[in-house]
Amino acid sequence: MKLEIIPAIDLIDGACVRLTQGDYARQTTYFRDPLDAALRFEEAGVRRLHMVDLDGAKAQRPANLAVLERVATRTSLEVQYGGGIKERTSLCDVFSAGARRAVCGSVAVRDPERFDAWLDEFGGERLILGADLRDGRVAVQGWTESSAWSAEELIDRFLARGLRQVICTDISRDGMLCGPATDLYAALQQRFPDVEITVSGGVSAWADLETLERAGLRSVIVGKAIYEGRITLKELKRCLQNE
């Protein structure tokens, strides 16, 4: 399988949790110590890990950097980290704690000139645009507010500045195990062939991954489907060993 599978670790109070449709009141804790999850992913052959600081998204500054540092120093995983990165100091803190890439969403919507400057300084290889969609519009502030931007408009805005990676989440499907919005992601990937569109939200089974690969997608974030055993680490390991 050429599609890169990126397991997700969402953080609240230092624990590995999952929310349903981004609702903080609908929370399930899977690992008290996220490093335990990260080590299992590493053992399965995973290369990249997606970490979301849900506390940071609310606080508007990263709040789980100690967890990031432990995972980055105790594993070989390439960590991409998002949640609350609004200031350059926060961005530098995330990189200093060991993240290979940083995911920025709200700041790109609210202060596009600042995100322009970050793309100029750090490059499209290290910065990922987070485009989280509710009813076709990009949501910000930990999915609590909607903006006027569509995903296409937001990607277009930063393309000339060197944007190369976008994580697009369909909030309505996130944590629902109902299958991803494949047509949405395939259309974005076809429109922006030089940008890696990472799928997020709704993956429920291995068949979903095969469908996404056939549709031309390059990477996918998988969370609840792994934690609920719909996609097993044994399957993941077998697939990665056969690459």
- The tens digit of pLDDT for each residue in 96-148 reads 999 999 999 999 999 999 999 999 999 999 999 999 998 889 988 766 678 88
Active site residue 111: no
Question: What are the tens digits of pLDDT across the range 171-212?
Answer: 888 778 889 999 999 999 999 999 999 999 999 999 999 999
Active site residue 13: no
Question: What are the tens digits of pLDDT across the range 35-83?
Answer: 999 999 999 999 999 999 999 988 999 999 999 999 999 999 999 999 9
| Domains of the chain, earliest start first | 4-241 (3.20.20.70)
| pLDDT value for 139 | 85
| pLDDT value for 142 | 62
| pLDDT value for 144 | 67
* Active-site residue (options: 10, 170, 174, 208): 10
| pLDDT value for 123 | 98
Whole-number CA gyration radius for the chain: 16
* Active-site residue (options: 55, 132, 170, 208): 132
